[in-house]
Amino acid sequence: MKKIPFFLAVLFFVSNAWAQELSVEEIVSKANNRSYYQGKDGSARASMVVTDAQGRTRQRQLTILKLNIQEGGDQKYYVYFHKPNDVKGMTYIVWKHAGKDDDRWLYLPAMDLVRRIAASDKRSSFAGTTFLYEDISGRSIDLDTHELVSSDAAYYTVKNTPKDANMVEFSYYTVKIDKNNFVPVKAEYFDKSAKLYRMIEALEVKDIQAYPTVTRMKATDLNANSHTVTEFSDIKYDVGLQEEIFTERFLRTPPQQWLKE
């Protein structure tokens, strides 16, 4: 095992000591930026396998392009479906807004149809998987109140309670955040009777272009006894995405250079 250089060890110790003193808002904000706002932009290929209670599997493969408009706030997403084959070529754009409903467009190539999607419910399934829209594009941290429930040598555990309980199906959720890099490694959702019914876990974290990145994650629905594992590949940050990618032009004519099969 390599020796850790002394100054790094000191740095680690010092930063850890600082981290101890972070407020819960700072922790949540750092974790949120880590999960959803790294780099100016990014691209990745996501392969999702949905397994139902009977063990049957379904596959989703998509390319996701992401552009940060404002850190911790507005973002634009472009999604291209590679699989399943019956939706291959379908594209999807989201303009994520902080504080109001997202704008979403779906393009169905068979009909050359651009549909505007009314989507105020962000807690519906993403493309038929166990992940919800909010898991993919992030839940605004302003929607919950945050409470640091524990802090050990390696993890913070934050309890998040919705400000408006009628908007969501959970009563609260806890998130375990790695102290070293602020990567959320596990989220647990509790229903109105405080029973755990849903989990999201980071199964693998890698440094990509120096950004700690979750490369494999799993969502489990304990009620339905089903789960989805998502593997990200070809992850790239700061690729130089232009804002025009996220418009009707590229919805209808997918940008070839970003969508290698």
| Sign of the alpha-carbon dihedral angle for 167, 217, 90, 128 | negative
Q: Does 125 bind other proteins (CB under 8 A)?
A: yes
- List the beta bridge partners of residue 206: 213
Q: Out of 18, 56, 70, 193, which residue is the one contacting other proteins (CB under 8 A)?
A: 56
Report the nearest approach of other proteins to the CB of residue 172 (Å).
19
Is 129 a binder of other proteins (CB under 8 A)? yes
Question: Exactly one of 21, 54, 55, 118 binds other proteins (CB under 8 A); which one?
Answer: 118
Sign of CA dihedral 27, 32, 37, 42: positive
Q: Are 32 and 138 in contact (CB under 8 A)?
A: yes
Provide the CB-side half-sphere exposure for 252 (13 A, CA). 8
Contact between residue 37 and residue 72 where contact means Cβ atoms under 8 Å apart: yes
**Helix, strand, or coil here: 57?**
strand
Footprint (CB under 8 A) of other proteins, residues 242-261: 244, 247-249, 253, 256-257, 261
74 scored as a contact of other proteins (CB under 8 A): no
Candidates 58, 146, 186, 236; binder of other proteins (CB under 8 A) is 58
Q: Is 130 in the site for other proteins (CB under 8 A)?
A: yes
Residue 5 CB neighbour total at 10 angstroms: 9
Which residues sit at the interface with other proteins, rule CB under 8 A? 50, 52, 56, 58-59, 83-86, 88-89, 95, 97, 100-101, 103, 110-114, 116-121, 123-125, 127-130, 224, 226, 244, 247-249, 253, 256-257, 261
